[in-house]
Amino acid sequence: MMAERTRTFPTAARRRLVLISLGWALVAVTEAGAYTVLALAIADRRPPGAVLASAVVAVIVTVLVSRSGYLAGARLTGDLFRGVGAAFSRAKLAWFTEQHRALVGTVAGRAIPALMSLPAHQLQTFILSPLLPLLLLGGAGVVAGPAAMLLLAGLLGVAFLAQFAAQRALRAADSGRGAAEQDAAEASLEFVDHLELLRTAAGPERAVERLTARWEAQEAALARTNRASALATLVSGLAGVLPLAGVLILIVATGDGDPAGALALIVLTVRASAPLDTLALAGVTVNELRTTVERYRAVVTAPTLPEPRVSAPRSGHRIVVSDVSYGSVLEGVSAELPENSTVLVTGPTGSGKSTLLSLLMRFDDPDAGGIRIGGAGLTELRSEDLAAMIGYVPQDPVVFEGTLAENIRLGNPAATDEEVAAAARGAALGAVIDRSPLGIGQPVGHRGSTLSGGERQRVAIARAILKRAPILILDEASSALDARTEERVAATIRDLPCTTILVTHRDAERSWRPSVRIELGAAHSAPAPAEFR
């Protein structure tokens, strides 16, 4: 089960898990050997030298494996985070829907840290707990004979069957908890992201109805798990007592006249029964581990867009859109965009304007047709080479906590302060710079909380200006700007040696003076794909 579910783990992570698994198997062997030597010493009244030596070996092996498990757990999380990073570098951007963003948050914030305990704890439970009793059966045969070994094997078998039935019922009762937790996480993200809208549209009480319903479903799932856990714990306790009770009954019934041999058998029975207690909540552990690994697998196997090892040669940045179709929103779109032209994409709501921009940036590939830049198809370009050619400003700009300069410099990390300031003033941020003695070094607060909506848009525009990419894509990038400010920004961008492709619901003639128009058709009855809406 473990090997099957961890196939998507990075190779280094799988290697660590295999080595620690072998280590816990070695712990079981050395501990079973130590207890067998102890039982023989008790039964045959041997001196304690061999007992002490075997115990020391078992303790050293256990400490070394346990310590290695903790260290492997820390390194495992690093391996898994690197696996997520590698997957993100290849995943197509259209995959990052709200649902998948919530999943990514769960994996990064909870799933991967939880897997840190896998080498030191879960593997100990799943390897040492069943293996040690099996090895001690051999010791019982050596110490007390085949009859005692068979009896102990039968008692342990009944106890394991009882545990299996209890854990199976527990896993079934716990099966919906992971989905309920993920639904609650998605609802929480949705609530936080759209708090203002929910509060104003639905009111304070109705705004939390959807979130509260998910929380109540999670609470119900936890209640089912708790009820099943109580029963599983009771069965586990009875199962743990059964082997010892059976052996004691046998000793009393047979009137064994060898107290030392009886004590030796009891010692082996007690130790063989002890791991049953660690399996008391194994069903919950298995479900949590399965859910955690499945979430990780869903993230690292996010769909990717194929790309070449080396980008195809290209000349300039002339764009040709050839008979592009995508879903139900674009059908047979063709256009030629000369270098350094200003292109206006128009059309009614739902006609696919944002979808076309997304395809130009290769967030996804069209269902039919193709797009070429400088004579090279987008599928013939490596993602980093394509990204270097495009500056993008969305309608809802992203501003990070930090300074104004740090946010703008994302467009060009090597830019000087003078270049950052020039880009900021070109985006009509002069008043923002001048209102603080820190200038471009002033903090902008969490998500740009010290800036207005229009100022945040201008920060994103300044970032794109500073990048100096040959293609600039603006998706309602000036929607929060007044007409005069928009004209100033448009004048700055018109002077840049780049092709500007924009979507705007305003009259673009005065500010942007487009030289090319792409008019998309009427809205289709079917909605655009969720990732592009």
Asked if 274 and 138 touch (Cβ cutoff 8 Å), the reply is: no
Distance CA 419, CA 376 (A): 31
Asked if 103 and 299 touch (Cβ cutoff 8 Å), the reply is: yes
Task: Report which of 417, 394, 389 is spatially closest to residue 318, judged by C-alpha positions.
Answer: 389
Position 531 scores a pLDDT of 38
Task: Report which of 523, 465, 531 is spatially closest to residue 498, judged by C-alpha positions.
Answer: 465
Q: Which residue has the tokens 């410099």?
A: 409
Distance CA 457, CA 62 (A): 59
Position 525 scores a pLDDT of 34
The amino acid that residue 179 corresponds to is A
Position 280 scores a pLDDT of 58
Distance CA 22, CA 65 (A): 9
Non-local (6+) Cβ contacts of 245 within 8 A are none
Domain boundaries, the chain: 2-300, 319-532
Q: Which residue has the tokens 């260290």?
A: 71
Distance CA 354, CA 42 (A): 80
The CATH number given to 319-532 is: 3.40.50.300
Nearest 5°: CA angle at 319, between 314 and 321? Answer: 120
Asked if 173 and 224 touch (Cβ cutoff 8 Å), the reply is: yes
What sign for the dihedral angle of Cα 503, 504, 507, 512?
Answer: negative
Burial class (CB in 10 A: 0-12, 13-18, 19+), 330: buried
| H/E element, 257 | none
User: Could you tell me the maximum CA-CA distance found in the chain, to the nearest angstrom?
Assistant: 109
- Stretches where the chain sits below pLDDT 50 are 1, 522-533
Q: Which fold has domain 2-300?
A: ABC transporter transmembrane region fold (1.20.1560)
DSSP 426: H
Q: Which residue has the tokens 């840190």?
A: 116
Distance CA 427, CA 460 (A): 9
